[in-house]
């Protein structure tokens, strides 16, 4: 991989800090709350269906997730779900929003190392504006970044807009993230570079993506390997 990147973009959730396991754990508890009605598999599947139906309207993030859980609980229980369960679902969602921000291992060392080179670092994350800002503030790593971009989606057109705003060409931009679908493929498609760091827990919606064009692309196991690639 070439190395004259002017800007490296980092995805945040599950690239810099833990996120999906919190949603995963909440979904597990949601399925348990509804286990009188259906098995975990069915509840999970119905929740995903609701989320996909609402995605255009709600976008990504915990509040939409909460609303979709409530809607699913009422629909699949044929409105037999107890108020107590709905209350618990709201509390589960609030708990997600209040979760601590736990950095993934090695993140701060890598950012600290990269900052010493002549490369600008940015965060490019999708999700809820307030929630992502809050996580960044809690993370204590905001200081490493020249720019924070919170995006409603991560399609090719969204990256093109971002790069135009940053006044940079795709060939000088490297994106690092855990989602092939959101962080890597759209960036490769517009002529940028992508480094994929798979994470053990991935939301179903972000799965089933394949990199067709292996140019400009690398997959690594751990964020610390990034330094070697930049230096090689």
Residues 24-53 interacting with its own copies (rule: CB under 8 A): none
Q: Per CB under 8 A, does 168 bind its own copies?
A: no
Answer yes or no whether residue 87 interacts with its own copies by CB under 8 A.
Answer: yes
- Rounded-to-integer distance, Cα 47 and Cα 77, Å: 12
**DSSP track, 98-146:** HPPP-BPTTHHHHHHHHHTTT-EEEEEEES-HHHHHHHHHHHT-GGG-S
| Residue with Cβ nearer its own copies (90 or 160) | 90
Question: Judged by CB, which is closer to its own copies: 30, or 199?
Answer: 30
Q: Which uninterrupted H or E stretch holds 85?
A: helix 83-98
| Chain residues 125-154 in contact with its own copies, contact rule CB under 8 A | 128-131, 133, 150-153
- By beta-carbon proximity to its own copies, the closer residue of 71 and 206 is 71
d(CA 20, CA 108): 20
- Of 79, 208, 213, 215, the residue at the interface with its own copies (CB under 8 A) is 79
The single residue among 59, 101, 202, 229 that binds its own copies, judged by CB under 8 A, is 59
Among 57, 116, 210, 231, binds its own copies (CB under 8 A): 57
Across-strand partners of 175? 9, 194
The window from 54-62, 100-108, 167-175, 176-184 that contacts its own copies (CB under 8 A) reads 54-62
CB nearer to its own copies: pick between 99 and 196: 99
Put the strands of the sheet holding 173-177 in their side by side order: 147-151, 120-126, 7-10, 173-177, 193-196, 217-219
Q: Which residues pair with 9 in a beta bridge?
A: 122, 175
Number of shown-chain residues binding its own copies (CB under 8 A)? 30
Binding status of residue 90 toward its own copies by CB under 8 A: yes
Q: Quickly list DSSP for 156-198.
A: HHHHHHHHHHHT--GGGEEEEES-IIIIIHHHHHTT-EEEE--
* Whether 187 contacts 194, CB under 8 Å: yes
Given the rule CB under 8 A, which residues bind its own copies? 57-59, 63-64, 66-67, 70-71, 74, 79, 81, 83-84, 86-87, 90, 93-94, 97-98, 128-131, 133, 150-153
């Amino acid at each position: 991989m070439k190395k004259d990147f002017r800007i490296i973009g980092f995805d945040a959730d599950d690239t810099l800090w833990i996120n999906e396991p919190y949603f995963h754990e909440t979904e597990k508890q949601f399925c348990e709350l509804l286990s009188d009605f259906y098995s975990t598999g069915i509840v999970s599947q119905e929740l995903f269906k609701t989320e996909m139906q609402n995605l255009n309207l709600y976008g990504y993030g915990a509040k939409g997730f909460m609303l979709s859980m409530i809607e699913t609980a009422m629909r699949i229980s044929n409105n037999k779900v107890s108020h107590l369960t709905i209350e618990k679902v709201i509390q589960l969602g609030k708990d997600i929003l209040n979760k601590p921000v736990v950095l993934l291992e090695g993140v701060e060392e890598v950012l600290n190392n990269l900052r010493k080179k002549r490369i600008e670092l940015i965060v490019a994350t999708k999700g809820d504006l307030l929630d992502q800002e809050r996580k960044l503030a809690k993370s204590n790593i905001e200081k490493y970044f020249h720019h924070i971009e919170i995006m409603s989606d991560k399609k090719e057109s969204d990256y093109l807009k971002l790069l135009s705003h940053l006044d940079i060409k795709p060939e000088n931009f490297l994106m690092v993230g855990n989602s092939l679908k959101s962080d890597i493929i759209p960036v490769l498609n517009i002529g940028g570079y992508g480094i994929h760091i798979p994470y053990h827990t991935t939301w179903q919606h972000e799965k089933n993506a394949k990199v067709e064009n292996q140019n400009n692309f690398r997959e690594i196991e751990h964020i610390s390997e990034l330094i070697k690639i930049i230096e090689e």
